[in-house]
Amino acid sequence: MAQPQSFNPTRNDFAEMLEASLLDRRSFEDNVVTGIVTAIEKDVAVIDVGLKTEGRVPLKEFGQAGLPGMLKVGDKVEVFVERIENANGEAVISRDKARREEAWDRLEEQFKQEARVDGVIFNRVKGGFTVDLGGAVAFLPGSQVDIRPVRDAGPLMNIPQPFRILKMDKRRGNIVVSRRSILEEDRAEHRQEVVRELNEGDTRDGIVKNITDYGAFVELAPGVDGLLHVTDMSWSRVNHPSEVLGVNDTVKVKIIKINPETHRISLGIKQLQPDPWQGVAAKYPVSAKFSGRVTNITDYGAFVELEQGIEGLVHVSEMSWVKKNVHPGKVVSTSQEVEVMVLEVDESKRRISLGLKQCADNPWERFAEEHPIGAVIEGEVKNITEFGLFVGITDDMDGMVHLSDLDWNRPGEEAIKEYKKGDVVKAKVLDVDSDKERISLGIKQVGSDPMDSVGEINRGDDVTCTVTAVEQGGIEVQVGGEGGPKAFIRKSDLSKERGEQRPERFAVGDKVDARVTGFDKVSRRISLSIKAREVAEEKEAVEQYGSADSGASLGDILGAALKGRDKR
């Protein structure tokens, strides 16, 4: 019987076996393998990972954050093998790293599909919280915890709940999640379901959840709010929503509008009451007077409440007959009872124009009664403008003297230079327009019109004038006696003889005769010519006493004409 051949490995065989063993070990290292729990010693689990090698893992690594680990002998678990043998001849393994590797693969797929992930908030850190996503740790920013700011996150800790991955970077090991987006999605779905059951015109009870400057948010159902705008709270003016409502108040509201796209709900309270503006034009006719209460004052006027829900505006221009450019707050005050007149009603635009001054005496009409046209008043120059003077009549009323009414003989631009603020002047009332609130005055009209002193003047009349000024281009003369109108005789009209057309041959005070060549009563302009008078006299003399062609000289003819005039 043959003896079995014994196997005596050579050095080469031993090297091959060692290399094969090393290859098996290397395939285990840095990988996740399935091991079997062989023993549990206090807080450590002993796990067989194959190759007749065991490793030890703390029991706490088998529990999810905030939850205890449940493990028993014989359980199969996945662990990460860092290396096969350590200094004690054991495998170095980790359950945490195995879970992390597994979690990252799973989470990357869920992130691509935008799916929800389950996790547990287990710790608070700066700026937010840490979340265990089944092996991978993520950051939950404080702003992403809830829809509303959370002061105490204790009730949310260590409870499995869904999250949404906002971003992840495996190379850096960063994951950012949001709980808020999950809540917003759920609320949006719930809101859509509730909104589908609502109809415009429905009346519902709600709870005031928040109050702002522009209105209040009323909860119609859990997670479903509607906006109650301040203008829809009452038919009366509401300055701030807090005047009408308080947080947690239960109110009955009417659904005014539902936006089908955004599902925003507009609510109203005043719509549950009759509209006081219906028939308001008949109730408040134009020119009728009513009592009301000042509810609000602005730069442009004051609002007066005639009854609850009905307000009218007294424009600043309708507040006082005489106080112009003054703030309404200096005429009336809030809550003051006033008497007003209805000026205009626009029921479609829900507007009533009121007048305060119309309920008081019109000082312009009173002035017209006490100072008829032609009356002379005395007042102080209050203001000087480019078009005239404003003369104070009372403390609040002025009359205007136009440039053309300052002086009979001088241009207004020249005459106005003589006046300054504070001067007391006399003026005549020329016109009173109570509708436009204007009083026209004249200073020159206080004296007599120089035109009146010369009587009726017609073109072709001869007048005697007194030289008042000698200028290079002619002479200024005064027609008639003292106080008469002035005129200017141009150099070319001083004589029919060219050599005598010299202004310097005249002196102030000289008497001259001239013929009226033009008269414009509107512009009060008189045109005079000595030349025209001389030419006319010569022509008359020739016609009456003969002509030079008959043998008589021009001197003889003029001499005879002068003698004939002297005899007359």
Whether 17 is in a domain gets the answer no
Specify the residue for token string 């005039």.
565
Q: Which helix (H) or strand (E) holds 558?
A: helix 554-567
CA distance 312 to 426: 43
| HSE (side-chain half, CA atoms, 13 Å) at 452 | 5
> Which bin fits 530, alpha (ψ -120 to 50), beta or left (φ > 0)?
alpha
Contact 38, 46 (CB under 8 A): yes
What is the number of domains present in the chain? 6
Whether 530 is in a domain gets the answer yes
Q: Are 514 and 530 found together in one domain?
A: yes
Which tens digit of pLDDT belongs to each residue from 202-254? 999 999 999 999 999 999 888 788 999 999 998 888 889 998 899 999 999 99
CA distance 15 to 10: 9
Q: Are 249 and 300 found together in one domain?
A: no
- Residue 455 has a pLDDT of 67
CA distance 251 to 220: 10
Tens digits of pLDDT across the chain (568 residues): 444 444 555 555 444 444 444 444 555 665 667 778 788 877 777 777 776 667 777 776 666 544 445 677 888 776 767 666 655 556 766 566 666 777 788 888 888 888 899 999 999 999 999 998 887 889 999 999 998 888 788 889 999 999 999 999 888 888 999 999 998 888 888 878 788 888 889 999 999 999 999 999 999 888 788 999 999 998 888 889 998 899 999 999 999 998 877 778 999 999 998 888 888 999 999 999 999 999 999 999 999 999 988 999 999 989 988 877 789 999 999 999 999 999 999 988 889 999 998 898 888 888 888 889 989 989 999 999 998 999 988 777 889 999 988 887 778 888 888 999 989 999 999 998 888 888 999 988 887 777 766 667 788 888 888 999 999 999 999 887 777 788 899 999 999 888 889 999 999 989 999 999 988 776 778 899 999 999 988 888 787 765 545 445 555 555 555 555 554 4
Q: Report residue 502: phi and psi, to 5°.
A: -120, 115
- Residue 66 has a pLDDT of 45
Amino acid 12 reads: N
CA distance 412 to 404: 5
| Sign of the four-CA dihedral 152, 157, 162, 168 | positive
Whether 193 is in a domain gets the answer no
| Residue 318 in tokens | 């309708």
- Residue 283 has a pLDDT of 92
Strand, coil or helix: 95: helix
- Which residues form the domain of 72? 24-99
Beta strands in 84-159 (DSSP E): 92-94, 117-125, 128-132, 137-141
Instruction: Give CA separation, 158 vs 100, 143, 175, in Å.
Output: 19, 19, 19
CA distance 192 to 268: 21
Which tens digit of pLDDT belongs to each residue from 53-91? 677 777 766 665 444 456 778 887 767 676 666 555 567
Instruction: Give CA separation, 257 vs 11, 227, 262, 277, in Å.
Output: 93, 10, 12, 22
Among 425, 446, 467, the domain-final residue is: 446
CATH number for the domain harbouring residue 307:
2.40.50.140
Q: Are 462 and 439 found together in one domain?
A: no
Among 303, 324, 357, the domain-final residue is: 357
Strands 137-141 and 265-268: unpaired
